[in-house]
């Protein structure tokens, strides 16, 4: 890219991006940029590793775009940023994908296939997915260390997990325990609560009578899981709830039933009783200690037994007004709450169900059946035993395995835990050490979650994961005397077998058979692998390959910034806090930027089944990577979800097109004049700068300040908005318009050079500011503007600093006022029906304050040009323009307190009043109808507003909804104005014809005019010199057009025929 070289006429994002990719390759742009900052202050960013199944969707694309914009911004601010991307590659999702691929149905198939082979298949699959993600991320210009990502399956990363876990064990936070967990019976493993997905399903809904011992009657419970009845251990009630004893009659038989008072009607209706009577009113407390008989005592002979079982206890999870009966069937073997309460009551924990969801021999009659399939038989048996009060079905949400969609079961098994509940206070304290954007996410959601978090079950009975580094004595499998290995080196030292710490892979197949023998005891490994959430929880040191590489840990850890979507509150934000606290006693990150999810155009989540997914590559295809990134980055990154919008993305492409036009406009002139920015910088042309140059430079300073502030507050959307406002409104629509004529000047002039230097500086800094957002187009523009002494890539530039010298807030306001006046003037012109091409004799600016007067006085000429006015007349604030009427605008903050409920009515009257002088007396007179005797209008309540008089068009102008004056356009015609107007009409049409003929700008022509109206023809001929000059016509007269064009036009109702031909052609034809 040579300086001021030829560029595409049109912004073509695809060709441009391809060129930039090639260019980046050629000059090693990324590597140079990283190297350029290698001496800078360290900034430790940690990438939340995406899971390697599936490809990048709009959400991940948004996430990576955000990371990219902040990494680039930080680099430009001088930081040496850690930018190693990561990939989360273990876990059940990949296992189930591979199982599907291989046609497996359960664990047996895997065992037959061979653990080692299966692990290899999973590894291959994850690697393949990783490649896909890498190329997706690269495709929209994300600059991270793609050659060296951290992978959770690498030995050094797995070691980081072992190390963290062993540190937690050192702090006595690792234990093995008998716990109620969610089990997927197909995957035959525990799954985390946040891996449970809830779906609506139809389940049995049964009411069961438990006959009371030592007294008449039964208590009634309700459940949707008949299969848990065999494990019933106790019944829970609300101690403070109201219950009733009901004598109910059905088919001539009477029963005494106990249920919650609030539910007794519902329950009896379900049971289709003929009649009933409340015979007893009691509280939950009265029921405590009542004993009952197990309804399936015969079918399940080995049912739970012991002191205190089959009794009524208080339980705080009971709701006497919710669904059910107010008495809750409790089976500690099949429910978390039941488990905790059962443990508290020191009742036995009975779970006659295996990890595969099949009843064990403890389930008696039901042994060998899959639990859900035993529901019918259990209900039949209850019926036969006279215990079934009612049965039906219910539609409710029930947990399913996130991967294979199998209904989960609550069972009790032996699992390994990090007992984070032991350090709950430390966790809550540590939260305070992190800064969140937005802060409510930390103080509400995150805090709530941490407060309620149970111990972390980290063990999974699966294959594709990091093996638990736990060895237990051969004859036992609990946490007594366990050995936790922290590093590969330690492993090599302690195991009985030969292990090369450099080469060992650490996956299950390689460590399963390793044993440790110490003090005469042989230890074997616990066969479980880690919950995949544990993998990413150690990313803050895994990224650094710590502990195997300890060169950077002390300097960098903890992370300065992490940046993920809000689902990670319960995911990575949490797992890192838990692991960081358990292992290190600290939160492993300082700042969190939490963004939302990408929703579709209707605000629903994108989902494959709904078919509303927008693929990032389709978006890139339609609008280019830069436009897509800018769209994504224009969304608030703090908590809110983003609604996808093709329109908005298209708008971003339009803005880039505008930037492209702004950029390419001055190039030919600069090239022609040999403008050399390294010799002619802004400072050297200072004396020749015109006001508009100083203004655009002042706006540039304000834009830089604003952007920096927003980016530092993690509001890149506002930073981008500020930049686009500057480029589109200030540079394109105002500055370029204002300097065009200076650039067309064929003579060398100080003014022209000053304009070059100004626009050069503006463009250079604008693309530098844009670079983090739209790295491709910024690079190409920068490359065209930059010289030998500049960097190879815009991304090596320093973030542009505010230069105090050019800051000029007063000038900014001046021009803002002028632009407001101009805009109002254009409006008034249109109302008066006068095109801009036709001059108007005068424009009157009625200023409300001295600032407006100053602004107009300093820029009268500019205003005359812009509004095509022969004269600008200024009416100062202390005088009034004679022809005006007035009305009043009410200030509600004054009116409200004064008039109370009638304030609205008074406001309307004031708005509608018409008076000839701006006095309160006149105004009060005009609104006397709505005023009571003792009421008056005060100065503070109103501001007077001018009303347009007849024959003159007027439009108010102001800043930020604050009126500052009115512009009146006097559009009356004189002969001179008509002459110029018609001449301009002719010129415009000749120009258009020149253009149609593709004539060079410099080319001379011969011109012929035939105008149907003599008066108009005379008026036009008065301006012949002007026409000749503007259209470069050397000859005027009769033309036989051979080599040119002839066309008829209608101008303001007058027909005119115009013919022209290039002079070279005209000569040839003679």
Partner RNA sequence: GGGCCAAUAGCUCAAUCAGGUUGAGCGCCACUCUGAUAAGGUGGAGGCUCUCGGUUCAAAUCCGAGUUGGCCCA
* Contacts with RNA, 1030-1049, as mask; x by CB under 7 A: x-x-----------------
Interface residue with RNA among 156, 211, 648, 864 (CB under 7 A) is 648
Instruction: Tell me the C-alpha to C-alpha distance, in Å, between residue 974 and each of 336, 528, 842.
Output: 93, 96, 12
Nearest distance, CB of residue 71 and RNA, angstroms: 24
Q: List the interface residues with RNA, window 974-993 (CB under 7 A).
A: 984, 988, 991-992
Nearest distance, CB of residue 1054 and RNA, angstroms: 14
Interface residue with RNA among 650, 877, 949, 958 (CB under 7 A) is 650
> In angstroms, how far is CA 110 from the centroid of its own chain?
40
> Which CB, 408 or 511, lies closer to RNA?
408
CB 359 within 8 Å of CB 369: yes
The reply to whether 444 sits near RNA by the rule CB under 7 A is: yes
Interface residue with RNA among 32, 120, 154, 194 (CB under 7 A) is 194
The reply to whether 836 sits near RNA by the rule CB under 7 A is: yes
187: CB partners within 8 A, 6+ apart: 92, 95, 96, 107, 401, 403, 404, 406, 462
Nearest distance, CB of residue 58 and RNA, angstroms: 12
Block residue for tokens 């930080």 = 74
Interface residue with RNA among 356, 367, 479, 823 (CB under 7 A) is 823
Neighbours of 286 (CB within 10 A): 16
The reply to whether 1065 sits near RNA by the rule CB under 7 A is: no
As a whole number of angstroms, the distance between CA 447 and CA 59 comes to 25
> In angstroms, how far is CA 355 from the centroid of its own chain?
40
Neighbours of 167 (CB within 10 A): 20
The reply to whether 200 sits near RNA by the rule CB under 7 A is: no
CB 987 within 8 Å of CB 1031: yes
Interface residue with RNA among 239, 414, 586, 641 (CB under 7 A) is 641
Phi, psi dihedrals of residue 386, rounded to the nearest 5°: 70, 20
- Which span (193-201, 257-265, 917-925, 967-975) binds RNA, by CB under 7 A? 193-201
The reply to whether 827 sits near RNA by the rule CB under 7 A is: yes
Report the DSSP beta bridge partners of residue 642. 598
- Which span (286-294, 446-454, 501-509, 686-694) binds RNA, by CB under 7 A? 446-454
* Contacts with RNA, 120-159, as mask; x by CB under 7 A: ----------------------------------------
Interface residue with RNA among 409, 583, 890, 1007 (CB under 7 A) is 890
Q: At CA 612, angle to CA 608 and CA 615, rounded to 5?
A: 80
As a whole number of angstroms, the distance between CA 958 and CA 818 comes to 10
> Which CB, 193 or 487, lies closer to RNA?
193
Neighbours of 821 (CB within 10 A): 28
Instruction: Kindly tell me the sign of the dihedral angle through the C-alpha atoms of 668, 672, 678, 680.
Output: negative
Q: List the interface residues with RNA, window 372-431 (CB under 7 A).
A: 397
Q: List the interface residues with RNA, window 1-40 (CB under 7 A).
A: 9-10
Interface residue with RNA among 250, 365, 664, 1028 (CB under 7 A) is 664
Q: Specify the pairing of strand 218-223 against strand 253-260.
A: parallel
> Which CB, 42 or 908, lies closer to RNA?
908
Closest CA to 228 of 76, 382, 340, 335: 335
The reply to whether 995 sits near RNA by the rule CB under 7 A is: yes
Q: List the interface residues with RNA, window 732-751 (CB under 7 A).
A: 732-733, 736-737, 740, 744
> Which CB, 83 or 338, lies closer to RNA?
338
- Which span (169-177, 634-642, 754-762, 912-920) binds RNA, by CB under 7 A? 634-642
Nearest distance, CB of residue 645 and RNA, angstroms: 4
- Which span (86-94, 141-149, 458-466, 994-1002) binds RNA, by CB under 7 A? 994-1002
The reply to whether 972 sits near RNA by the rule CB under 7 A is: no
> Which CB, 500 or 960, lies closer to RNA?
960
Instruction: Tell me the C-alpha to C-alpha distance, in Å, between residue 396 and each of 44, 324, 814, 866.
Output: 46, 13, 66, 70
> In angstroms, how far is CA 844 from the centroid of its own chain?
49
As a whole number of angstroms, the distance between CA 499 and CA 1061 comes to 91
As a whole number of angstroms, the distance between CA 872 and CA 864 comes to 7
Block residue for tokens 């031909």 = 1061
406: CB partners within 8 A, 6+ apart: 184, 185, 186, 187, 400
Instruction: Tell me the C-alpha to C-alpha distance, in Å, between residue 873 and each of 409, 826, 837, 842, 967.
Output: 85, 16, 20, 7, 10
- Which span (45-53, 830-838, 914-922, 1005-1013) binds RNA, by CB under 7 A? 830-838
- Collapse the DSSP code of 898 into the 3-class scheme (helix H, G, I; strand E, B; otherwise coil) and give the result: helix
> Which CB, 138 or 837, lies closer to RNA?
837
Interface residue with RNA among 18, 521, 893, 928 (CB under 7 A) is 893
CB 582 within 8 Å of CB 418: yes
- 64 labelled binding-site residue: no
Nearest distance, CB of residue 252 and RNA, angstroms: 38
Q: List the interface residues with RNA, window 579-608 (CB under 7 A).
A: 596-597, 599, 601, 603-605
DSSP per-residue letters across 12-30? -HHHHHHHHHHHHHHHTHH
Q: How many residues bind to RNA according to rule CB under 7 A? A: 83
Instruction: Kindly tell me the sign of the dihedral angle through the C-alpha atoms of 638, 644, 648, 650.
Output: positive
> Which CB, 420 or 499, lies closer to RNA?
420
> Which CB, 634 or 784, lies closer to RNA?
634
The reply to whether 709 sits near RNA by the rule CB under 7 A is: no
The reply to whether 1004 sits near RNA by the rule CB under 7 A is: no
Q: List the interface residues with RNA, window 452-511 (CB under 7 A).
A: 452
* Contacts with RNA, 838-877, as mask; x by CB under 7 A: ----------------------------------------
Nearest distance, CB of residue 441 and RNA, angstroms: 7
Instruction: Kindly tell me the sign of the dihedral angle through the C-alpha atoms of 581, 584, 585, 587.
Output: negative
- Which span (44-52, 192-200, 417-425, 552-560) binds RNA, by CB under 7 A? 192-200
As a whole number of angstroms, the distance between CA 28 and CA 33 comes to 9
> Which CB, 82 or 330, lies closer to RNA?
330
Interface residue with RNA among 613, 826, 853, 922 (CB under 7 A) is 826
The reply to whether 903 sits near RNA by the rule CB under 7 A is: yes
575, with CB counted inside 10 A (0-12, 13-18, 19+), is buried
> Which CB, 440 or 805, lies closer to RNA?
440
Nearest distance, CB of residue 806 and RNA, angstroms: 21
Q: List the interface residues with RNA, window 202-241 (CB under 7 A).
A: none
The reply to whether 962 sits near RNA by the rule CB under 7 A is: no
Report which secondary-structure segment, H or E, holds 1054.
strand 1054-1062
98: CB partners within 8 A, 6+ apart: 118, 121, 122, 125, 464
CB 968 within 8 Å of CB 846: yes
The reply to whether 293 sits near RNA by the rule CB under 7 A is: no
Nearest distance, CB of residue 54 and RNA, angstroms: 15
Interface residue with RNA among 18, 654, 850, 938 (CB under 7 A) is 654
> Which CB, 602 or 878, lies closer to RNA?
602
- Which span (133-141, 633-641, 751-759, 875-883) binds RNA, by CB under 7 A? 633-641
Annotated binding site for ATP: 608
Binding-site residues sit at 608
């Amino acid at each position: 890219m040579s300086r001021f070289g030829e560029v595409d006429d049109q912004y073509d994002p695809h060709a441009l991006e391809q060129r930039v990719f090639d260019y980046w390759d050629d000059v090693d742009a990324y590597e140079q940029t990283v190297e350029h900052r290698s001496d800078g202050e360290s900034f430790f960013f940690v990438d939340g590793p995406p899971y390697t199944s599936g490809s990048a969707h709009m959400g991940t694309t948004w996430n990576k775009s955000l990371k990219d914009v902040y990494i680039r911004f930080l680099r430009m601010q001088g930081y040496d940023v850690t930018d190693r991307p990561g990939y989360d590659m273990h876990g059940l999702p990949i296992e189930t994908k591979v199982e599907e691929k291989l046609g497996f149905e359960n664990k047996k198939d895997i065992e037959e296939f061979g653990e080692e082979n299966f692990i290899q298949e999973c590894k291959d699959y994850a690697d393949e997915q990783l490649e896909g993600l890498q190329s997706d991320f690269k495709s929209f210009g994300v600059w991270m260390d793609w050659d060296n990502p951290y992978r959770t399956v690498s030995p050094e990363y797995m070691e980081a997990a072992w190390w963290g876990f062993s540190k937690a064990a050192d702090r006595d936070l690792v234990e093995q325990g008998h716990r109620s967990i969610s089990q997927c019976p197909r995957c035959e493993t525990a799954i985390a609560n946040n891996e449970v997905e809830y779906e609506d399903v139809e389940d049995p809904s049964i009411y069961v009578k438990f006959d009371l011992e030592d007294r008449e009657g039964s208590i009634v419970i309700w459940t949707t899981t008949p299969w848990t009845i065999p494990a019933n251990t106790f019944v829970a009630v609300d101690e403070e709830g109201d219950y009733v004893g009901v004598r109910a009659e059905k088919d001539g038989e009477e029963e005494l039933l106990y249920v919650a008072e609030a539910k007794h009607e519902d329950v009896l209706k379900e049971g289709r009783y003929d009649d009933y009577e409340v015979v007893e009113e009691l509280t939950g407390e009265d029921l405590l200690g009542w004993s009952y008989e197990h309804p399936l005592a015969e079918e399940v002979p080995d049912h739970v037994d012991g002191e205190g079982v089959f009794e009524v206890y208080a339980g705080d999870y009971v709701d006497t007004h919710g669904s059910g009966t107010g008495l809750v069937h409790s089976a500690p073997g099949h429910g978390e709450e039941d488990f905790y309460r059962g443990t508290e009551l020191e009742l036995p924990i009975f779970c006659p169900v295996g990890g595969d969801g099949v009843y064990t021999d403890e389930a008696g009659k039901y042994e060998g059946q899959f639990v859900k399939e035993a529901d019918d038989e259990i209900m039949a048996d209850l019926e036969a035993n006279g215990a079934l009060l009612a049965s039906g079905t219910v539609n409710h949400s029930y947990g399913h395995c996130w991967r294979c969609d199998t209904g989960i079961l609550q069972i009790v098994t032996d699992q390994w835990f990090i007992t984070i509940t032991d350090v709950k206070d430390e966790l809550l304290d540590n939260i305070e050490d992190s800064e969140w954007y937005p802060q409510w996410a930390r103080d509400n959601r995150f805090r709530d979650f941490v407060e309620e978090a149970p111990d972390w079950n980290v063990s999974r009975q699966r294959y594709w994961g990091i093996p638990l580094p736990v060895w237990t004595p051969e004859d036992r499998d609990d946490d007594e005397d366990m050995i936790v290995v922290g590093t590969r080196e330690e492993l090599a030292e302690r195991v009985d077998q030969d292990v090369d710490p450099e080469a060992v892979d650490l996956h299950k197949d390689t460590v399963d058979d390793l044993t440790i023998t110490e003090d005469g005891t042989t230890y074997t490994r616990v066969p479980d692998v880690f919950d995949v959430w544990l993998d990413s929880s150690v990313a803050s040191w895994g990224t650094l390959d710590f502990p195997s590489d300890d060169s950077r840990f002390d300097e960098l850890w903890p992370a300065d910034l992490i940046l993920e979507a809000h689902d990670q509150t319960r995911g990575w934000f949490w797992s890192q806090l838990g692991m960081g606290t358990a292992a290190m006693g600290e939160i492993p990150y300082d700042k969190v930027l939490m963004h939302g999810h990408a929703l579709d155009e209707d605000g629903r989540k994108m989902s494959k089944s709904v078919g509303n997914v927008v693929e990032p590559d389709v978006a890139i295809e339609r609008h280019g990577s830069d436009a897509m990134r800018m769209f994504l980055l224009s969304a608030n990154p703090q908590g809110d979800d983003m609604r996808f919008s093709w329109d908005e993305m298209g708008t971003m492409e339009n803005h880039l097109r505008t930037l492209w036009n702004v950029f390419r406009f001055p190039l030919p002139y600069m090239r022609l004049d040999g403008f050399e920015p390294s010799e002619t910088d802004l400072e050297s042309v200072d004396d020749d700068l015109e006001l508009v140059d100083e203004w655009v430079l002042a706006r540039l300073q304000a834009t830089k300040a604003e952007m920096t502030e927003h980016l530092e507050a993690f509001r890149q959307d506002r930073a981008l908005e500020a930049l686009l406002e500057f480029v589109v409104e200030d540079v394109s629509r105002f500055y370029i318009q204002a300097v065009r004529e200076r650039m067309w000047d064929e003579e060398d002039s100080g003014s022209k050079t000053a304009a070059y230097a100004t626009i050069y500086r503006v463009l250079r800094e604008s693309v530098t500011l844009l670079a983090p957002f739209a790295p491709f187009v910024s690079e190409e523009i920068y490359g065209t503007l930059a010289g030998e002494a500049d960097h190879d890539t815009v991304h090596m530039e320093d973030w542009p600093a505010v230069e105090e010298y050019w800051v000029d807030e007063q000038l900014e306001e001046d021009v803002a006022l002028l632009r407001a006046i101009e805009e109002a003037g254009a409006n008034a012109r249109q109302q008066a029906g006068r095109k801009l091409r036709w001059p108007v004799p005068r424009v009157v600016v009625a200023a409300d304050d001295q600032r407006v007067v100053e602004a107009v006085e300093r820029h009268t000429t500019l205003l005359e040009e812009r509004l095509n006015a022969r004269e600008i007349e200024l009416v100062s604030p202390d005088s009034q323009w004679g022809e005006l009427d007035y009305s009043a605008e009410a200030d509600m903050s004054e009116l409200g307190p004064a008039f109370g409920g009638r304030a609205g009515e008074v406001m309307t009257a004031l708005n509608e009043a018409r008076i000839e002088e701006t006095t309160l007396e006149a105004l009060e007179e005009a609104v006397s109808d709505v005023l009571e005797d003792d009421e008056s209008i005060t100065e503070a309540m109103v501001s007077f507003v001018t009303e347009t008089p007849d024959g003159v068009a007027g439009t108010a102008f102001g800043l930020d909804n604050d009126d500052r004056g009115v512009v009146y356009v006097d559009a009356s015609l004189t002969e001179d104005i008509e002459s110029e107007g018609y001449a301009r009409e002719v010129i415009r049409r000749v120009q258009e014809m020149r253009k149609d003929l593709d004539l060079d700008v410099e080319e001379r022509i011969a011109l012929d005019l035939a105008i149907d109206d003599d008066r108009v023809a005379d008026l036009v001929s008065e301006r012949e010199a002007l026409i000749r000059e503007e259209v470069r016509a050397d000859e005027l007269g009769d033309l036989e057009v051979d080599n040119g064009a002839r066309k008829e036009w209608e101008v303001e109702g007058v027909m005119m025929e115009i013919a022209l031909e290039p002079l070279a052609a005209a000569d040839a034809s003679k």
